[in-house]
Chain A
Amino acid sequence: MPIYLAKRFGLAVLVAFCVSILAFALLRLQGNAAGALAGEGASAEDLAIIVETYGLDRPLIVQYASWLGDVLRGDFGTSYFFKSPVSDLIFDKIGNTVILAIMSLTIALAISIPLGVLAAVFSGSWIDRLCSLVSLLGQALPSFFLALCLVMLFAIKWRMLPASGADSWRHFILPAATLGYYITPPFMRLVRAGMIDALSNDYVRTARAKGLPAHRVILKHALRNALVPVVGLVTVQLGLLIGGSVVIESIFALDGLGYLAYQAIGYRDFPVLQAVVLLLSVVYVVLTLLSDIVNAWLDPRLRVS
């Protein structure tokens, strides 16, 4: 087990390192970095000042080392557009996005695991088809449409929940429900397929032959094995969710990372963009590491390799 974790951790560090090179190259590979920073219509003097300020005349390896040093100290530079430190910007917004992501994911799992188990246990029957329909609807409905419907019902008609902002946990319910329902279908399909597979396994027959009650057979012996692939999907989806959902964040005026990245692209705000890319990649690497650990716990056979 410790060897397995050490290997995974080493790999994660290596990937993070590669990603930092890519994020660094993002600006430099433009060809003329100074030109990209200065924008259109910059004079030769402006360019010279920029080269001077940012040290663009130094060898690339030196520039990378000093940039990486800054990043490791939490200094991502200053945003061209917002004129404030990038780290402050991100720190302000990432909280909202992470809360939204985790709530959405929780909602998605709370819907998809019971539905997937039900559909698998009664596979082929009307219960299976109903469960599939409920989950498929999440995929078929455009998320902005569902968002607007929820706002109309819960915020405008019944006045139960706020329609926009990020001031309290109640503000997160509608956007999280929208996003959660939207990402339910792949989870539900994976749980259903995993359960059907697990239920046809010999160890399930053994569990039944031992005289265990049906719920123990299904929820312990089958579900535990069916959840292994779900962990991987959680990682991917959580990564995507933390990357931000521009549409949902703008509809609910939930000022998060997705919206920030969207603005940064529009304004060619490279320091912000670099920071977001690097941050999301590192989030992915960390999530993958976590999912390896959880999988090793779920499936003991993985611990040896």
Chain B
Amino acid sequence: MEPLLQVRDLKVDFKLRTNTLHAVRGMSFEVREGETLCIVGESGCGKSMTSLALMDLLPRAATRSVGAMRFGEVDLTDRRAVRRVRGNEMAMIFQEPMTALNPAFPIGDQMTEAYIHHTGATGSAARARAVEMLTEVGIASPEKRLGQYPHQLSGGLRQRVMIAMALMTSPKLLIADEPTTALDVTIQAQILRLLRDLQHRLGIAIVFITHDLGLVSRIADRIVVMYAGARVEEGSAAEIFGSPRHPYTQALIDCIPQPGKSERGAPLGTIPGVVPSLVGDVRGCAFRSRCPVAQPVCADAVPLRAEGGHLWACIHGAKKDETERAPA
């Protein structure tokens, strides 16, 4: 079956005074209908830029180049086509629910305006739809909420409003850029449950962007691990957590404290070293300076290995290399 979203060789660059910052260096991935794809990586690895590039929302200073980018029948490199599907069949929610809503307008106005724009519905039909969606995301007395302003709602409620607003037009794809990062843990869990529940009931595909691998294990169907602007590994949740092939993925998993497994009082795992600068060209494997199993050949081009749907960009990890993979 044709994937719902298809991205091939996406690059996002920022021109600096003397050089170029390559924020995204050739990302490729696919999202199938109704599935949850998680894009995981450290801060600054380019995961947010990837999501903004999909929606044509990159900052003005950024330039985008892409091999192919399709959403169903729509070519996402065509800006006019993007404007038709954006906020319509393809919706997005953001990290900061405190600032993502406009403080000057009531919730109801903000929820209905795009719906009216896209569908041509009347004001009262749009309000009815907004009440329905607020109920859908578990907000009590929705009619009252429509007249309220963002500052009258808590962070968790605002994120629910954001989700309800994104669902107004029944999108096929929801891009969620760290939607729970700014919330406290109990609210985080509620929002995750809500997203999973909505997905099952409404059959929307979700691209979930996060730095939190622990969270990914609770919602992902498939996972893309990003490092320094590029995909280093991709696979089903079972493949990534069960048999991670890239040393970076392995290192990330080792950083998740696990009740019962991790030793009590032991220091939390960290990855030594720092993320490489994305300014200028990166040759070879970007992770090699922090990699426990790096070889001299890692300075050259990295092969992309595949085992069914499981992909990884590393010289290691093929079956015969199994012994080499053991952390040094």
In chain A between 252 and 305, which residues have their CB closer than 8 angstroms to a CB of chain B?
A: 298-301, 304
Mask, A185-201, CB within 8 Å of B = 1, is 00000000000000001
Closest partner residue, chain B, to A203 (CB atom): B102
B98-141 with Cβ < 8 A to chain A: 99-106, 113-114, 117-118
The reply to whether A213 and B117 contact each other, CB–CB distance below 8 Å, is yes
> Beyond A202-B100, A300-B103, is A209–B151 a contact (Cβ under 8 Å)?
no
In the bound assembly, the distance between CA atoms of A208 and B88 in angstroms comes to 12
B100 contacts A206, C-beta separation under 8 Å: yes
A207 in the interface, Cβ–Cβ < 8 Å?
Answer: yes
Closest Cβ neighbor of A227 among chain B residues: B104
Q: Which residues of B contact A210 (CB under 8 A)?
A: 86-87, 91, 113-114, 117, 165
Q: Does A205 contact B (CB under 8 A)?
A: yes
* A210-B165, A211-B88 as given contacts; A205 in contact with B100, CB under 8 Å: yes
A87 contacts the other chain (CB 8 A):
no
Contact in complex: B87, A209 (CB < 8 Å) = yes
Question: Does A106 lie at the interface of the complex (its beta carbon under 8 Å from any beta carbon of B)?
Answer: no
B96 interfacial by beta-carbon distance below 8 Å:
yes
Please measure, in the bound complex, the distance between the C-alpha atom of A206 and the C-alpha atom of B99, giving whole angstroms: 9
Question: Could you tell me if A209 and B104 are in contact, using CB atoms closer than 8 angstroms?
Answer: no
Q: Say whether, besides A212-B113, A216-B113, A301-B149, A203 and B103 are in contact (CB < 8 Å).
A: yes
- Most chain B Cβ neighbours within 10 Å, of A201, A205, A213, A304: A205
With A and B bound together, what is the CA distance between A213 and B113 in angstroms? 11
Contact call A300/B151, Cβ cutoff below 8 A: yes
Could you say which residues of chain A place their CB within 8 Å of the CB of B106?
300
Q: Does B312 contact A (CB under 8 A)?
A: no
Closest to B111 in A: A210
Task: With both chains docked as a complex, state the minimum distance between the C-beta of B62 and any C-beta of chain A, in angstroms.
Answer: 13
Let me know if A301 and B100 touch, CB within 8 A. Answer: no
In the complex, the answer to whether B103 meets A211 with C-beta atoms within 8 Å is: no
A214 to B212, CA, bound (A): 34
- Tell me the residues in window 40-82 of chain A with beta carbons closer than 8 Å to chain B beta carbons: none
Residue tally, chain A, CB below 8 Å to B: 21
- Provide the bound-state CA to CA distance between A210 and B161, in Å: 13
Verify A203–B86 contact, CB threshold 8 A.
no
Return the contact of B99 from the options A201, A224, A304 (Cβ within 8 A). Answer: A201
Judge if A225 is at the interface, Cβ distance under 8 Å: yes
Count A-B contacts at CB 8 Å: 73
B239 to chain A, nearest CB (A): 32
Chain A residues with Cβ below 8 Å from B92 are: 209
A211–B100 Cα gap in the complex (Å)? 15
Task: Tell me, yes or no, whether B218 is within 8 Å of chain A by CB.
Answer: no
- The distance in angstroms between the C-alpha atoms of A33 and B323, with both chains bound, is 104
Known interface pairs A209-B57, A212-B113; A202-B94 also in contact (CB < 8 Å): yes
Find out whether the CB atom of B101 lies under 8 angstroms from the CB atom of A209.
Answer: no
Choose among B85, B100, B114 the residue that contacts A203 (Cβ–Cβ < 8 A): B100
A207-B102, A211-B118, A216-B113 are known contacts. Are A300 and B55 too (CB-CB below 8 A)?
no
Given the contacts A211-B117, A300-B104, A203 and B83 also touching, CB distance less than 8 Å: no
Contact of B104 among A205, A216, A298, A304 (CB under 8 A): A298
Q: How far is the CA of A221 from the CA of B103 in the complex (A)?
A: 9
Contacts of A301 in B (CB 8 A): 103, 149, 151
Q: Which residues of B contact A205 (CB under 8 A)?
A: 57, 94, 100
Contact B55 A209 (CB under 8 A): yes
Q: State A228–B94 Cα separation when bound (angstroms).
A: 26
Q: Whole-angstrom distance between the alpha carbons of A203 and B290 in the complex?
A: 38
Interface centre among B91, B104, B105, B149 (most CB of A within 10 A): B104
Q: A211-B87, A299-B103 are in contact. Are A202 and B114 (CB under 8 A)?
A: no
Q: How far is the CB of A216 from chain B (nearest CB, A)?
A: 7
- Min CB distance, B60 to chain A, in Å? 9
B182: shortest Cβ distance to chain A, in Å? 11
- Taking a contact as CB atoms under 8 Å apart, the answer to whether A212 and B87 are in contact is yes
Report chain B residues within 8 Å CB of A209: 55, 57, 86-87, 91-92, 94
Interface residues of B in 73-102 (CB under 8 A from A): 83-88, 91-92, 94, 96, 99-102
23 chain-A/chain-B pairs, Cβ below 8 angstroms: A202-B100, A203-B102, A208-B86, A209-B87, A209-B91, A210-B87, A210-B91, A210-B113, A210-B117, A211-B83, A211-B84, A211-B85, A211-B87, A211-B117, A211-B118, A221-B105, A225-B102, A225-B104, A300-B104, A300-B151, A301-B103, A301-B149, A301-B151
List 10 A-B pairs, minimum CB-CB distance, nearest first.
Answer: A211-B87, A210-B114, A210-B87, A203-B102, A202-B99, A211-B86, A300-B149, A209-B92, A202-B100, A224-B104
18 further interface pairs, Cβ-Cβ under 8 Å (given A209-B92, A210-B91, A300-B103): A203-B99, A203-B101, A206-B101, A206-B102, A207-B102, A208-B57, A209-B57, A209-B87, A210-B114, A210-B165, A211-B118, A212-B87, A212-B113, A212-B117, A213-B83, A298-B104, A300-B104, A301-B103
Interface residues of B (CB under 8 A from A): 55, 57, 83-88, 91-92, 94, 96, 99-106, 113-114, 117-118, 149, 151, 162, 165
